[in-house]
Structure 1
Amino acid sequence: MENKPWLKLYPESIPTTLVYEQKPVQSYLTKAAEKYPDKMALNFMGKEMTFKELYECSLKMANYLRGIGIEKGDRVAIMLPNCPQGVISFYGILFAGGIVVQTNPLYTERELEYQMKDSRAKAIIALDILYPRISKVMKHTKLENIIVTAVKDYLPFPKNVIYPFIQKKQTGIVVNLQHRGNQHLFKNIMDEARALPLHHELDFENDLALLQYTGGTTGYPKGVMLTHKNLIANATACEAWLYKAKKGEEKILGVLPFFHVYGLTTVLILAVMEGYKMILLPKFDVQTTLKTIHKQRPTIFPGAPTIYIGLLNHPELKKYDLSSIESCLSGSAPLPYEVQQKFEEVTGGKLVEGYGLTESSPVTHANFLWDQKRVKGSIGVPWPDTDAMILSPETGEAAAPGEIGEIAVKGPQIMKGYWNRPEDTAATMKDGWLLTGDMGYMDDEGYFYVVDRKKDMIIAGGFNIYPREIEDVLYEHPAIQEMVVAGVPDAYRGETVKAYIVLKDGASVTEKELDEYARKYLAAYKVPRIYEFRKELPKTAVGKILRRTLVEEERKKQQHDEKLG
């Protein structure tokens, strides 16, 4: 107890240690279909599906995947927004014995090719409008099959008739594929495949359920290997933290993307585990989200600060009734205290900040929702069965309360390692402890605080952005001599991407031209929002550009402007 002072803070309703069923992730869908066969499992823009239907559709997908050669341990990518097809695909891949590779639909060809090559995925399930992008990279990867679906496939009438016209107007893309060869239509699979139960041996501790890509703190994205145990452990802990939630009764808003492990664990997996109804939104749009809350009455709302800020700042906020919301866990970026207070005033529910990483499935810490005080600026305390400590930068040993050092965490949700990267795994994992790369401290009571990042990852609007990837793209521009990318403070996104650029002698380029160039190779959220041209950049004696110096300059400038303002 002396080494875990936070356990004294736990309310009686939260156990300090939990029991984890030694079952695969997909087994919870089987159980939900048996326990709640006619209960609605999900709502998508008005279209609903029961747990029994979701289970049968997932089995159809699993049998079809087996039929096209997917075997135990094969990787299958999902490149979809939040929609019924994404949920069916996730559980279908697991029922087939495969490993899910979640892929951001915003990825450019370059980013997609990298991930498919690295994961060696054999098949991909994607939206029809993404087909042109995927088809161009398939020949450079191990992809053998592509399963295509359209948003309209799971929309209610008349939205399913109207949507294709809207999509064509917005994207200009019309895809007409035949269900043959290595091209498969999701709708045909659901019409033709059989919903037969499938069985395969599973090692709960070691078999992978998910390959989730992250850059960690530096470099190109790495595949985080998350086992069935990792995901079940984190979802079970989430259930324990939400101890006032009622099994089979809650409605959870799924606006966090499932290609982000936070949305995957706290919405998709938790909802099926607990028999909650998922209310799915394909993307975050402020007005659509407000209307959905007003009409569908969700009770649980995991999100990110930018989502809550966006809702609170909508000019017509008072038109919508948000009083159904009872509990919200915010992650991905620091939650401003004023946002927490205002959101709780508007909804009458509770909003608290949590903390985690992709490498920890993802949650390790959170503030208490009920029956215990919440500390301003704190990420809360470690979850059940999770240990945490601050490593002193001087000694490498556990630091005293109040001393700043690197946050290290340990628990059943911690990843198996990085996919095919033993050196990176060894650098990040020490005797079972995950070194987070975040600097922080613990107070006398056991509350933890994050003060800075050890490395240079940028978190903008809840997305992890890795400077080196952007720098590699911009360095290829013929006008740039040298440059560096950094995250700078931003009132809405938490941080935003800024590029500091030194041009070659006699060269010229505008911000607009650089923006257009970057958008060819990077997803929109990675593209720099600010460009600053300089004659030189600060460097060490050996010529290394001092990124942190630029960030510090930016912070001081902002503080100065705030004083004047």
Structure 2
Amino acid sequence: MTTYTERPWLALYRDGTRADITPAFDTMLELFRASVSRAPDAVAIRYFDGSLTFADLDARSDALAVALAEQGFAAGDRLAVYTQNNPAFVVGLLGAWKAGGSAVAINPMNKARELTYLLADSGATALLCLEELYASVARDVIAGDEVRVRTVFTCSPLDEQTRNDQRLFAGTNRGGVEGTIGLEQVFAEYAGRSPAPVSPRGDDVAVLTYTSGTTGVPKGAMNTHANMAFNSQTYRDWMGLGPDDALLGVAPLFHITGLVGHVGIALLAGCPLVLAHRFEPHVVMDAIREHRPTFTVGSITVFISLSGLEGATKDDWSSFRMVYSGGAPIAPAVTDQFQDKTGLYIHNIYGLTETNSPSHAVPLGVKAPVDPSSGALSVGVPVFNTVVRILDEDGKEAPVGEIGEIVTSGPQVVPGYWQKPEATEQSLPGGELRTGDVGFMDEQGWFFLVDRKKDMINAAGYKVWPREVEDVLYGHPAVREVAVVGVPDEYRGESVKAYVSLKPGAEVSEQELIGFAKEQMAAYKYPRSVEFLDELPKTTTGKILRRELRASGA
């Protein structure tokens, strides 16, 4: 019988791809310095009509590191970065590393309660944030007794560009904020100065990225320099990226996909990263038309939104050599629809915050198989140097083809959670990540994600995985997005409910959709009710929030 440790997926790698790679760099700072040395005048970031070369990034991050040190930032300290997809985010990361510390990536949608928790838990002593976020949220937070922030640097979304896009920046002006140090002021005042030389180790924390906290308070995943450098190389080598490519940054940079799948690749491969502040479909499409990126990775909801824009054509997508999608399951029908509209096949990629983005990916140029029994699209095969097993409820290795929890080990898996040894031991026993995701591996070595453990619906004793129902409903031509949850049922315990948003101009009734699913599924699986919404609730990364829908239907 095939076993996981035999790694049968090796035969599925594309021609020329090695099963294992030797890491080229131990730290993110080392790989960035190599790119600066190799091509200092190459463009590192394109932001509306502005651009920064690698030499510019080096000089700006030097200046920030010097300013941090003069404000008392010491080796091992943490700089919280609280901004959108702006060049300042990348400067903040590099500046923190050059000052001998680490960064804390914070969701710009977080409000006072959430920001207070993250700053207090991480112990950040400095903060870099947008002027508007300082005025509306951070000013009051850092005045409290719970946080240790001593220094605040602020930036504007208009920095590094001159075109004030009124779709995003109406009413926004550059201007200093009292009590803070403006980033533009730092670049001017400390121009030409270099920080004291530092050489972080591979096992030093590079970035704390916080989990969503769906099963308790958010936990800070300790993404080390070695973790991030390895998976930056994984992306580069798996996709064959180089200095002639251009990366479209559609994933939020505070999220692990943006950190590694955008910033990490760009710093390593020496190619430009195209940023557009935040995801607004028409603005991002204009960036695609202007800057002609060749690669991106983002959530499937991003691709659904972009491909559905009025006026968008296949020619708009013609610069792309490949697109990958992760962060949420993809229905096979959606990949087919996207390819019809754009000419591009969406390659699946799978990973978690704790795996620094990819642990699995579909090999470039290969189409992922669809499981005939569940209709699920494969999330790919384990990436370089990675071993993945499926464990049953007793913690034993499940036979190939049987469903169990996905557990992952490899160079990209974080060593633990910041100051949470019990949570680390629970989720990462022996360094192997218990993902909480349920799936299986077929005989050829393809992995299939069934669902999250906590999302399983128990309908009269039968297990129903929401993902399977969603995949069926995505096959209806009127459906744009769908999420399935279990809701209380006096007779069954739980019954299946679908929340659906429709494509523009499409019409379909609740009974029609129920009947559509009923024709294709066992009697206990099809939805008993459908509720139509204009938009489904999502995280900033585009993942649909089933928990919010579950709460509203309780």
Place the TM-score, normalised by the shorter chain, in its bin: 0.7 to 0.9
1:305 maps to 2:300: yes
The equivalent residue for 2:94 is 91
* Partner Cα distance (2:291, 2:333) in 1: 27
Instruction: Provide closer, same or farther for how the CA distance between residues 164 and 346 of structure 1 changes in structure 2, counting only shifts above 3 A.
Output: closer
SS in 1 for 2:113: helix
SS in 2 for 1:282: coil
* Partner Cα distance (2:454, 2:237) in 1: 32
Deviation for aligned residue 1:560: 6.3
The equivalent residue for 2:275 is 280
The equivalent residue for 1:507 is none
Q: Which amino acid aligns with 1:101?
A: V
* Partner Cα distance (1:404, 1:163) in 2: 47
1:60 maps to 2:66: no
Query: Does the CA contact (< 8 Å) of 2:93 and 2:102 recur in 1?
Result: no
* Partner Cα distance (2:354, 2:268) in 1: 21
Deviations 1:131-159 (A, max 9, x none): 12101111231111110111122222x53
Deviations 1:262-283 (A, max 9, x none): 1110111111100111110111
1:564 maps to 2:507: no
The equivalent residue for 1:405 is 404
Deviation for aligned residue 1:201: 4.2
**Structure 2 stretches of 5 or more lacking a match?**
371-376, 457-465, 501-508, 517-554
The equivalent residue for 2:236 is 239
Alignment of 1:339-418 (within 5 A): 339-370=334-365, 372-376=366-370, 377-393=377-393, 395-418=394-417
SS in 2 for 1:417: coil
Q: Which amino acid aligns with 1:196?
A: S
SS in 1 for 2:127: strand
Same amino acid, percent of matched pairs: 31
* Partner Cα distance (2:423, 2:482) in 1: 28
**Structure 1 stretches of 5 or more lacking a match?**
458-485, 501-536, 540-545
* Partner Cα distance (2:499, 2:199) in 1: 57
Deviation for aligned residue 1:200: 2.4
Instruction: Provide closer, same or farther for how the CA distance between residues 284 and 144 of structure 1 changes in structure 2, counting only shifts above 3 A.
Output: same
Instruction: Provide closer, same or farther for how the CA distance between residues 411 and 392 of structure 1 changes in structure 2, counting only shifts above 3 A.
Output: same
Alignment of 1:99-118 (within 5 A): 99-118=102-121
Deviation for aligned residue 1:254: 0.8
Alignment of 1:106-255 (within 5 A): 106-132=109-135, 133-138=137-142, 139=144, 140-156=146-162, 158-159=163-164, 166-168=170-172, 176-178=176-178, 183-194=180-191, 195-204=193-202, 206-215=203-212, 218-243=215-240, 245=241, 247-255=242-250
* Partner Cα distance (1:211, 1:495) in 2: 30
Deviation for aligned residue 1:113: 0.6
The equivalent residue for 1:77 is 80
SS in 1 for 2:309: coil
* Partner Cα distance (1:497, 1:191) in 2: 53
Q: Which amino acid aligns with 1:119?
A: S
Q: Which amino acid aligns with 2:221?
A: V
Deviations 1:509-543 (A, max 9, x none): xxxxxxxxxxxxxxxxxxxxxxxxxxxx679xxxx
* Partner Cα distance (1:174, 1:48) in 2: 18
* Partner Cα distance (2:169, 2:207) in 1: 35
Q: How does the TM-score come out when normalised to structure 2?
A: 0.80
SS in 2 for 1:341: helix
Instruction: Provide closer, same or farther for how the CA distance between residues 400 and 216 of structure 1 changes in structure 2, counting only shifts above 3 A.
Output: farther
Instruction: Provide closer, same or farther for how the CA distance between residues 202 and 51 of structure 1 changes in structure 2, counting only shifts above 3 A.
Output: closer
Q: Which amino acid aligns with 1:562?
A: L
SS in 2 for 1:401: coil
Deviation for aligned residue 1:129: 0.5
SS in 2 for 1:124: strand
* Partner Cα distance (1:354, 1:373) in 2: 12
Q: How does the TM-score come out when normalised to structure 1?
A: 0.79
* Partner Cα distance (1:321, 1:177) in 2: 40
Structure 1 stretch displaced more, 44-53 or 313-322:
313-322
The equivalent residue for 2:32 is 29
Instruction: Provide closer, same or farther for how the CA distance between residues 365 and 129 of structure 1 changes in structure 2, counting only shifts above 3 A.
Output: same
Q: Which amino acid aligns with 2:368?
A: R
Deviations 1:486-530 (A, max 9, x none): 9996965654899x8xxxxxxxxxxxxxxxxxxxxxxxxxxxxxx
* Partner Cα distance (2:194, 2:220) in 1: 31
Deviations 1:66-89 (A, max 9, x none): 111111111110011111111111
Instruction: Provide closer, same or farther for how the CA distance between residues 150 and 163 of structure 1 changes in structure 2, counting only shifts above 3 A.
Output: farther
SS in 2 for 1:455: helix
The equivalent residue for 1:504 is none
Q: Which amino acid aligns with 2:369?
A: V
Please report the RMSD computed on the Cα atoms of aligned residues, expressed in angstroms.
3.0
Query: Does the CA contact (< 8 Å) of 1:325 and 1:347 recur in 2?
Result: no
Deviation for aligned residue 1:186: 0.7
The equivalent residue for 2:522 is none
Deviation for aligned residue 1:185: 0.9
* Partner Cα distance (1:292, 1:336) in 2: 27
Query: Does the CA contact (< 8 Å) of 1:326 and 1:350 recur in 2?
Result: no
Instruction: Provide closer, same or farther for how the CA distance between residues 116 and 311 of structure 1 changes in structure 2, counting only shifts above 3 A.
Output: same
Deviation for aligned residue 1:386: 0.6
Deviations 1:269-315 (A, max 9, x none): 11110011111011111111222112211000111100110012122
Deviation for aligned residue 1:336: 2.2
Query: Does the CA contact (< 8 Å) of 2:247 and 2:294 recur in 1?
Result: yes
Deviation for aligned residue 1:342: 3.2
Query: Does the CA contact (< 8 Å) of 1:152 and 1:164 recur in 2?
Result: no
Deviation for aligned residue 1:105: 0.9
Select which of 301, 311, 320 maps to 1:316.
311
SS in 2 for 1:101: strand
Q: Which amino acid aligns with 2:197?
A: H
Instruction: Provide closer, same or farther for how the CA distance between residues 494 and 356 of structure 1 changes in structure 2, counting only shifts above 3 A.
Output: farther
Query: Does the CA contact (< 8 Å) of 2:485 and 2:497 recur in 1?
Result: no
The equivalent residue for 2:496 is 553
The equivalent residue for 1:289 is 284
Q: Which amino acid aligns with 1:309?
A: I
Q: Which amino acid aligns with 1:200?
A: V
SS in 2 for 1:248: coil
Query: Does the CA contact (< 8 Å) of 1:333 and 1:494 recur in 2?
Result: no
Deviation for aligned residue 1:64: 1.0
* Partner Cα distance (2:251, 2:429) in 1: 31
* Partner Cα distance (2:169, 2:447) in 1: 51
Q: Which amino acid aligns with 1:90?
A: L
* Partner Cα distance (2:78, 2:480) in 1: 36
The equivalent residue for 1:331 is 326
* Partner Cα distance (1:37, 1:66) in 2: 25
* Partner Cα distance (2:199, 2:287) in 1: 41
Aligned length, in residue pairs: 479
The equivalent residue for 1:464 is none
